[in-house]
Structure 1
């Protein structure tokens, strides 16, 4: 497996179930963070912290006993940051029929022993698939910046309008 990809597999357990009998969304989010961290740490050879989680889409439920597969792949690097795409699939372990259940983009920052951002190796997309994902990551960077600018302007207005 290439150094910029990682796959985790395990069975969904009864302790992961919500009141509706399916796996908690929070459990899936935890698994996504684990897969993303593993991919980021593997690439950077550093401890990494989650800086951003966005665009999580819960498409289909995961059932208790399903074989869950998380595919994490590096799609873009900055100086100290890594954008990781995580796709989640689930299937009955007695079947080959996997369901695409969840997708998310995460950003991790590599940190040194003092907790300061550390540089990461540059990622150069080598396939058409990885180039498309890299382009997508760059569009998401622009959208996040626009959202941050909008939120800052809105929060400034709230501050001006606050009583007292």
Structure 2
């Protein structure tokens, strides 16, 4: 049911196929996992098929090693009419231990679409806790910054 599940976590082991030439998990693999968790979270919240509109501020804090247990957590932090901003954290660690360290963080914007691929309305999320209000306000500030960056980029696209 839409509007009930605002966060989820995917858990799995980092496999040898995920390794880059340096012996650590490839950043592209991490970005794929982020997109998968973002989709699952956005679809659960909206009850609709969702597409990725934006992935930004990706911070690779520390590497993930083959054999690590990986947890990719996505959480709705702001909703618009058809879009959702999600905070995504990737944590990893030795599966024999209970501690997981932050390896990557980013913000995704997902858009719910109908069967024709057109944006469609989603349930509104209203923050209640202080931290959720801070996250929502941060998402709004990031949205404003993206608009400014987009305007600057237009000069490069259409000189």
Calculate the TM-score normalised by the size of structure 1.
Answer: 0.92
Structure (1 or 2) with the larger CA radius of gyration: 1
Please report how far the alpha carbon of residue 152 of structure 1 lies from its aligned counterpart in structure 2 after TM superposition. 1.3
Instruction: In structure 1, list runs of 5 or more residues that go unmatched.
Output: 158-164
Please report how far the alpha carbon of residue 155 of structure 1 lies from its aligned counterpart in structure 2 after TM superposition. 3.1
Instruction: In structure 2, list runs of 5 or more residues that go unmatched.
Output: none
For 1:114, the equivalent position in structure 2 comes to 116
Residues 46-61 of structure 1: pairs in structure 2 closer than 5 A: 46-61=48-63
Among candidates 35, 38, 45, match of residue 33 of structure 1: 35
Please report how far the alpha carbon of residue 156 of structure 1 lies from its aligned counterpart in structure 2 after TM superposition. 3.1
40-49 vs 95-104, which moves further:
95-104
For 2:46, the equivalent position in structure 1 comes to 44
Please report how far the alpha carbon of residue 97 of structure 1 lies from its aligned counterpart in structure 2 after TM superposition. 2.4
SS at 1:3 equivalent: coil
Please report how far the alpha carbon of residue 83 of structure 1 lies from its aligned counterpart in structure 2 after TM superposition. 0.4
Calculate the TM-score normalised by the size of structure 2.
Answer: 0.95
**1:137 pairs with 2:139:** yes
For 1:148, the equivalent position in structure 2 comes to 150
Distance in 1, matches of 2:130 and 2:36, equals 27
Distance in 2, matches of 1:155 and 1:115, equals 26
Please report how far the alpha carbon of residue 33 of structure 1 lies from its aligned counterpart in structure 2 after TM superposition. 0.2
Distance in 2, matches of 1:155 and 1:65, equals 43
SS at 1:83 equivalent: strand
User: CA-to-partner distance for each residue in 1:102-161, whole Å, 9 max, x for gaps?
Assistant: 00100011000111110011110121111111011000000000001111134332xxxx
Please report how far the alpha carbon of residue 96 of structure 1 lies from its aligned counterpart in structure 2 after TM superposition. 1.9
Aligned-residue RMSD, C-alpha: 1.0
